[in-house]
Structure 1
């Protein structure tokens, strides 16, 4: 599975009528920052989608801080920005980040086939001397028909059951210090779901911030059994997505997202958290 598109390749395809470029730059600490950056400048013909408002559903008591969006609402939003089931979608955030991976994964979950991450993101585009604009494009509306891949997600009940029976491996994609509960900038509790193994999502990138090759990713995940089901989590189902893409690229077939992740887990008072390496 190819999940990347190079800057030069996108530049050649920018005016293809069946291609939509989506800007998903975002800042968890400043939710309005991404849209402001988009208004200031973006790739030609790029449309903007917001992590909180577009790539997530309504936050409730349980379900995590970035629950999956409503199927009908998200499908309508895709149609409104010119995406149907045959459209090629290229997604970028500031660099090779978790927000573009979240959008990629959502499209995958909705049954889409042709979606790519822009290698290097917005900054990589600029570094290669490519053109940006302030013009907001007018999208030609289309009809998006979702074909949900229901087997790609596991809810909290499934996570508990599978872990109790040792049926799956649970990954926590957050930084080591958050996994160990040494710092927690976003949530009232610190630590991780008991049994989770730590694979920081940024480790799927090389020292220059670009995606590692399939062989490098296979080496990175070599302690994980390709025959086992792997459930990927993080704080709220966003930074788990680069790990999911990387695992798929490394040849792992049975990889699923726990959308609620740690923020959902701690919303239940009876759930224990762990702070030691596992």
Structure 2
């Protein structure tokens, strides 16, 4: 059976050299975009490819209407599949994503593979710190993968656009869940959010609340209890963050909890607040 949510460091250690497995390093720093590639060059899980949030997992060009789509808008599915092929991903590949931030960025790649219909993808639970804590190896070698043959299939996830979120304000049928840190949600952090606040009616579920103190995900039962207190139902939920990346952490946590069906708003707060005509709430 494929791994479809999480994998432990011990399980990955048994398989990372398997040619049917593709390991991808997703390290990133929102305040220093070069940091991920620098960290990868300094040492990564042997055989891992590097995924840039800014260039591989996003396409920052405007929408077809010329409007800003947020800091990390999704690429076209065909372009992302081409990236997967470049990394050597085949239709039968088991893909593993990791970072050193509790899955903060690895979850974006997990969600995107599901977005193009590839189910065999999981996040390394605890990320690189857990790998290193077990004395497992790093490498500075950069692999040149054989081109993969993965093809897009029916999406396994749902999305909404800014018009859907705006319409939901007028006829609220869905709960918006914001994955940003509480100070950003309240509008108190201008470093990443020049326009502070949140979408009116949204609830805050900081992505780090999905983790235990050692940086691994909470149990399915704990996550189910946490999210059930926020939700009407998974299908009646819209998940967002600053730019559509860490929101995927909440979606992964919900999948672990057996609460599938919430939709990602890819543009998230960075798209929403770019139009001063859209309403903004502040505080709790």
- TM-score, normalised to structure 1's length? 0.95
The match for 2:17 is: 15
- Distance in structure 2 (CA, Å) of the matches to 1:215 and 1:172: 21
Superposition misfits of 4+ residues, deviation over 4 angstroms: none
The match for 1:41 is: 43
The match for 1:81 is: 87
- Distance in structure 1 (CA, Å) of the matches to 2:281 and 2:270: 14
Is 1:218 matched with 2:260? no
The match for 1:54 is: 56
RMSD: 1.5
Name stretches of at least 5 consecutive residues in structure 1 with no aligned partner: none
Q: C-alpha displacement at 1:80, in angstroms?
A: 1.0
The match for 1:236 is: 243
Is 1:165 matched with 2:167? no
**For each residue in 1:58-113, what CA deviation from the matched residue of structure 2 results, as whole angstroms up to 9, or x when unmatched?**
24342111000122221111001110221100110014231100010101111111
- Distance in structure 2 (CA, Å) of the matches to 1:49 and 1:6: 20
The match for 1:188 is: 194
Q: C-alpha displacement at 1:204, in angstroms?
A: 0.5
- Distance in structure 1 (CA, Å) of the matches to 2:156 and 2:110: 16
- Judging changes above 3 Å, is the alpha-carbon distance between structure 1 residues 174 and 18 closer, same or farther for their aligned structure 2 residues? same
- Distance in structure 2 (CA, Å) of the matches to 1:240 and 1:30: 20
Q: C-alpha displacement at 1:164, in angstroms?
A: 1.8
The match for 2:262 is: 255
- Judging changes above 3 Å, is the alpha-carbon distance between structure 1 residues 190 and 105 closer, same or farther for their aligned structure 2 residues? same
Is 1:203 matched with 2:205? no
SS in structure 2 of the partner of residue 68 of structure 1: coil
- Judging changes above 3 Å, is the alpha-carbon distance between structure 1 residues 227 and 145 closer, same or farther for their aligned structure 2 residues? closer
**For each residue in 1:103-158, what CA deviation from the matched residue of structure 2 results, as whole angstroms up to 9, or x when unmatched?**
10101111111001111111111111001111111201112211252861000011
The match for 1:27 is: 29
SS in structure 1 of the partner of residue 228 of structure 2: coil
- Judging changes above 3 Å, is the alpha-carbon distance between structure 1 residues 19 and 228 closer, same or farther for their aligned structure 2 residues? closer
Name stretches of at least 5 consecutive residues in structure 2 with no aligned partner: none
Number of matched pairs: 277
- TM-score, normalised to structure 2's length? 0.93
SS in structure 2 of the partner of residue 98 of structure 1: coil
Q: C-alpha displacement at 1:57, in angstroms?
A: 0.9
